[in-house]
Structure 1
Amino acid sequence: MSWIDIGHIDEVPLRGARLLKTPMGCIAVFRTAEAEVFAASNSCPHKGGPLSEGIVHGQSVTCPLHNWVFDLNTGEAQGADDGRIETYPLRLEGARILIDASALARRSAA
């Protein structure tokens, strides 16, 4: 894996998100705890709701439009038939957030 530094953990609000703009569209970076971050597609597959504006709880995010809940570990919707969002590997080095560049390269256009 090839890792890219995308910022300091304090740039992502606790139990919140920020957008990472890529050439293929936006990815949401979620901070679920003091030292826990996840990255996933910003678009809900149901109606395209902006997940970065959703409610972050536990290791999940709830879409702000229709309340679909997604597990940030797997991307799977909880209680929905075919819902899934793309997730991307992140890691922390000290207080810096790193994302896997090869996963971004495989990302399809939004």
Structure 2
Amino acid sequence: MTQASRWTVIGQLGEIPRQGARVVATAVGDIAVFRALDDSVFAVEDSCPHKGGKLSQGIVHGHAVTCPLHSWVIDLQSGEAAAPDVGCARRFAVRVEDGRVLLSVPGAAS
């Protein structure tokens, strides 16, 4: 059984710096919403699969972020750690409409 999701406006695209992140507190934990240099937007849990480092505080490069604790590189499209590291950060659906960033969180109240 899947939990219902709801799209929630979390702000304007311009409020997230290019190659930066914004943290959104949700019922399922903190979610880091990243904006790449090309304005692509990604959302993953704000916790590195290695030792829980805050990915939102990492360095964004391309469509990846480097964890500030132990330099694990996490692919923002898949959530997967780059080899030789193994692990995955949970991904969340995110989209941009008319300059607004919308996030979908499973189990969000309607």
TM-score under structure 1 length normalisation: 0.86
Q: 1:29 maps to what in 2? A: 33
Deviation, structure 1 residue 35: 2.7
Deviation, structure 1 residue 24: 2.2
Sequence identity, in percent?
49
Q: CA RMSD in A?
A: 1.6
Deviation, structure 1 residue 81: 4.2
TM-score under structure 2 length normalisation: 0.86
Q: Secondary structure at the match of 2:107?
A: helix
Deviation, structure 1 residue 80: 3.7
Give the alignment partner of residue 80 of structure 2, picking from 76, 79, 86: 76
Aligned residues: 104
Partners of 1:5 and 1:96 in 2: CA distance: 7
Superposition misfits of 4+ residues, deviation over 4 angstroms: none
What per-residue deviation string (whole Å, max 9, x for no partner) do you get for residues 57-98 of structure 1? 000000000000011000010014431101111111011001
What per-residue deviation string (whole Å, max 9, x for no partner) do you get for residues 12-50 of structure 1? 111000100112210000000353111001001111100
Q: Secondary structure at the match of 2:31?
A: strand
Give the alignment partner of residue 105 of structure 1, picking from 94, 98, 107: 107
Check if 1:17 corresponds to 2:27: no
Partners of 1:50 and 1:28 in 2: CA distance: 9
Greater shift, 47-56 or 2-11, is seen at 2-11
